[in-house]
Amino acid sequence: MTITKEKAQDIWSPHHDRIIRVIESAWAEYIALKQCRLENGFAPLLYSRTKSNDIFDAIARYAFEEFGSDEKFMLRTEAQTFKIFHSNCCIRFKKSGTNLLGNNIPTQAAMAFAEADGQLPNMPPNTAKLEIVWVANDIFTELESIHILARDGDTLLWEYPIDRADDKEIVINIPTSPTDPDDDFDGLIKPKRDSELDKKDRA
């Protein structure tokens, strides 16, 4: 199912700052780790997909922290990705590719999400599917923009860039000492069962 850009803006504009904070925190972590590699004499990462994967992992962790304890949202983890459900919308985070669309390995699950009439497993058929994509410059030194979009396969239906509610810079705290990732992770994600999601949709 697709929804209009105006409807998506109504749903997500109150949360734009939170989305920006998640992605900018992940980007700041990537830059900090890049600097750490240089300071310790390690070669820079060779493949762009490694950089994208590192940033996606950080996005997932910061998203769990930002939205995981909010009762208005449901987070679902999968083998290689995660999704957030809110107001009958399902969103996923992607690095932008051609025509802003997120890049996909053409699995059944990926195609079900990308196609406008694709059905997500264990989800109501009227669930809208949206992508939040981030755009970096060609040399991966600057985060240029963040967008919310709807697609149908490889066709962009609509998109809009998301901005902060005001001009204030979002403060991002990067830890200066290592922590045990397992300890940090346990309390951040509290996925709800499908039955709970169904109850919310019927409410």
pLDDT digits (tens, 9 = 90+) for 135-165: 999 999 999 999 999 999 999 999 999 987 7
Report the distance separating Cα 125 and Cα 152, nearest Å. Answer: 16
**How far, in Å, CA of 50 to CA of 53, rounded?**
5
Specify whether the CB–CB gap between 113 and 101 falls below 8 A: no
Q: Kindly report the length of the chain.
A: 203
pLDDT at 1: 77
pLDDT tens profile 26-58: 999 999 999 999 999 999 998 989 999 999 999
Q: Note the maximum CA span of the chain.
A: 56
Q: Is the pTM of this model over 0.75?
A: yes
* Domain extent for 107: 5-202
Percent of the chain scoring above 90 in pLDDT: 59
Average pLDDT of the residues in 164-183: 51
Rounded to an integer, the average pLDDT of 2-20 is 96
Cβ density class 45-74: b for 16+ within 10 Å, e for less: beeeeebbebbbebbbbbbbbbbbeeeebb
Q: How far is CA 160 from CA 8, 91, 156, 189, 202, in A?
A: 10, 14, 11, 28, 30
Residue 160 tokens, joined: 């809009």
Q: How many domains does the chain have?
A: 1
